Amino acid sequence: MSVTKLGKFAVIGLSAAWLAGCSTTASDSDTSSMASEGSEAGTNTSDSTYAAGEDGSLSSVIMDDQAAAQQNADLLAGVATVFYFDFDKSIVRPEAREALAKHAQFLMDNPDARIVLEGHADERGTREYNMALGERRAKAIMRYLTIQGVPAAQIETVSFGEEVPVAFGHDASSWQLNRRVEVRYE
């Protein structure tokens, strides 16, 4: 084995040992003391949010996951989650901008929230073309949200092309309903 390879292995080994030595893990006594503090106060520490009062004292607000989900749903009540597109286009319509601005504000206010943008197309065109068109439509909504300030890490895009229609007719009104992007929160 050459000296340079041996030196590389030594650096990697020492780095791994250093990282292992510097890592901290909670011991059983640490977690049990936290659990007993939470149980003494009659709270569940995993559902608590702590805040500092004006005098510097800590207070906690207990909110379970279901209540938080309900509060988030109330903030977006009545806001459109389906956005339609013109034939063979991936340009966000002006009437969608107000609803998208509300989604953007919600996502910026809730950095843990994640959305999936599901792009769709009507049945006209090849499957490959419609998959690409659905992707372009989802990416157009994503670009609009990121321009509004939403971090790209909160957004995922997926294309279903023509595979998941909401209207099964073979006419203009059915095709219009299938040319869409649906916003789904995770």
Tens of pLDDT, residues 66-89 = 565 566 667 788 899 999 999 999
Q: Which domains does the chain show, CATH number per domain?
A: 27-63 (no CATH), 67-185 (3.30.1330.60)
Average confidence score pLDDT of the chain: 78
Amino acid identity at 103: H
pTM above 0.95, yes or no: no
Q: At which residue do the structure tokens 């207070």 appear?
A: 59
pLDDT for 6 equals 56
3-state helix, strand, coil in the chain (%, to 5): 50, 15, 30
The mean pLDDT value for 36-43 works out to 44
Q: For residue 25, what are the CA distances in angstroms to 13, 38, 64, 75, 166?
A: 21, 20, 26, 38, 50
The mean pLDDT value for 109-124 works out to 96
In 42-154, beta strands by DSSP E: 48-52, 58-62, 82-84, 115-120
Report the distance separating Cα 41 and Cα 61, nearest Å. 12
